[in-house]
Amino acid sequence: MTGPIDAVIFDWGGTITPWHSVDLREQWTVFARGMGAIACSLNDTASAVHAAEEAAWQRGRSEGTSARLDEILQDAGLDPQAPATHAGLTAYRDFWEPHTFTHPAIPSLWESLRDKGIRVGVLSNTIWTRDYHREIFARDEVLHLIDGDIYSSETPWVKPRTEIFLAAAAAVEADPRRCVYVGDRSFEDVHGPQSAGMRAIWIPHSDIPTEQQVSHEATPDAVAHELSDIADIVTAWSLDGHA
């Protein structure tokens, strides 16, 4: 497929943020400790929420359905509105904060794309709210560079469902066939956008846990070993389209 590019849409974790290997059980131990749980209660609470989250992500991989943090807490038998739960979530956010910072190459990349008249989008599989993600982008002073963003927590779907990629294209007011998607997971970020008619750039540096990988056949339209490669790839595609 060739042609001009109107928008480049980015995955969040492992793409906009550098890849980090995170102890997913530990996040819920920190949460339970923040709630004030101790001893056996701490372990039981952490195990229950961890199991609920794992089940939610597994449904996403097998059925393509989304999940939200409040629902996961409820599935674990917790009241999302209880003061203790709020205290636990404060600790949980503190745990995640070091893993949320925007890659230092992103601001200049997004500015260069927008200078060329190419819109910038974000599409993330996430249990977190739109407001939380946008707070992160505002903290890192890149929110103003985003022309449209979609989070699976606000839709019925997760990547690689075609519907969520079409929603992301609509958010940046572009035809999917004139969009590029950039991400680090082959199933979600190559197979998914290609199924929606987009081109896909794969960033192959993330150490995706085996249990999160899904067997599939997909070949990226391009591979970017550095974020800075993306602008050159997209520019070349656009020039081909105008030739």
- Give the H/E segment covering residue 51: helix 39-63
Annotate 155-203 with DSSP letters as a single string.
SSB-TT-HHHHHHHHHHTT--GGGEEEEES-HIIIIIHHHHTT-EEEE-
Identity of the amino acid at 204 = P
pTM for this model (two decimals): 0.92
pLDDT in tens, 80-113: 999 999 999 999 999 999 999 999 999 999 999 9
Compute φ and ψ for 119, nearest 5 degrees.
-75, 150
| Cα–Cα dist 156/138, whole Å | 26
pLDDT in tens, 197-213: 999 999 987 566 666 56
Identity of the amino acid at 22 = V
